[in-house]
Amino acid sequence: MKRAIIIGATSGIGKEVARILAEKGWKVGIAGRREALLKQMKESDPKSFEYEVLDVTREDAPERLESLISKTGGMDLYLHSSGHGMINPDLDPEQQMTTVETNITGFVRLINFAFHYFRNQKHGHIAAITSVAGTRGMGINAAYSASKRFQMTYLTALAQLSENRKYNIRITEIRPGFVRTEFLHRKYPMCMEAPYVAEMIVRGLLKGKRHMIIDWRYRLLIFAWKMIPERIWEKINLYKMIRK
């Protein structure tokens, strides 16, 4: 039996990926801040799920992750689905710092733990959900787009480190676009449903893909964004475009 640990599994993409893996016979350890939702998932399929209350911004997060791994009986796949970010063109300081603490500090804290675990185990698979927003700096959510770019670069560095030192740790970076969840409930362009995105993610994970962009529309969008010169990009009003 394969074993997966999913951080950020109380809702949205993480929850849907956990459900699909359980249906495929995986033992799944789920973690998040809301115990009631974790307990509900555990009770829905006690044989498939174990859970641990975990906040990535707290210093005890690695200890709680270690506890969850023990409950699950090991770890073959680590999926980091925890994240924070919102439209913030006014650069509200509290929102900016919460985003940085979650998407950078919390991300490094737990990704590093998983990397060390798999290095000692001599095999493993680390996957993380970044975002198409990491492609370019975006004025509507500066901390979010910058933190997602950080995650993308960090995963590349870990992939190189694993390859150089023969750690046998597979790295997968997952870039979805707008996904309809309880945190993103209003209508956005090219918005996708969480079950569809999760299905695409699981397919890619089982194939061992290094990169995933979901879906083809966002692959075209990223290609177009990369082609735009910086002086033109900085004049684009993204806030006005998504509010249409």
pLDDT at 184: 57
How confident is the model over 194-203, as a mean pLDDT?
94
CA distance 226 to 193: 26
pLDDT at 243: 59
pLDDT at 73: 97
CA distance 17 to 21: 6
pLDDT at 215: 81
Residues 6+ apart with CB under 8 A from 2: 25, 26, 27, 76, 77
What pLDDT digit, counting tens, does each position of 14-30 carry? 999 999 999 999 999 99
Percent of the chain at pLDDT above 90? 77
Residues 6+ apart with CB under 8 A from 100: 143, 147
Number of Cβ atoms within 10 Å of the Cβ of 78: 26
CA distances from 39 to 22, 53, 75, 101, 206 (A): 15, 10, 20, 26, 27
Question: What domains are there in the chain, each with its CATH number?
Answer: 3-242 (3.40.50.720)
Q: How confident is the model at residue 188 (pLDDT cuts 50, 70, 90)?
A: low
Residue with tokens 């992750």: 65
Choice between 178 and 18, residue whose per-residue pLDDT is larger: 18
CA distance 157 to 176: 21
What pLDDT digit, counting tens, does each position of 45-77 carry? 999 999 999 999 999 999 999 999 999 999 999
pLDDT at 21: 98
Q: How confident is the model at residue 186 (pLDDT cuts 50, 70, 90)?
A: low
What pLDDT digit, counting tens, does each position of 91-141 carry? 999 999 999 999 999 999 999 999 999 999 999 999 999 999 899 998 989
Q: Is the pLDDT of residue 9 over 90?
A: yes
When the pLDDT of each residue in the chain is averaged and rounded to a whole number, the result is 92
pLDDT at 238: 80
> What's the 3-state SS for 31-74?
EECCHHHHHHHHHHCCCCEEEEECCCCCCCHHHHHHHHHHHHCC
| pTM for this model (two decimals) | 0.92
In the chain, helix, strand, coil percent, each to 5?
55, 20, 30
Confirm if 124 and 113 have CB atoms less than 8 A apart. no
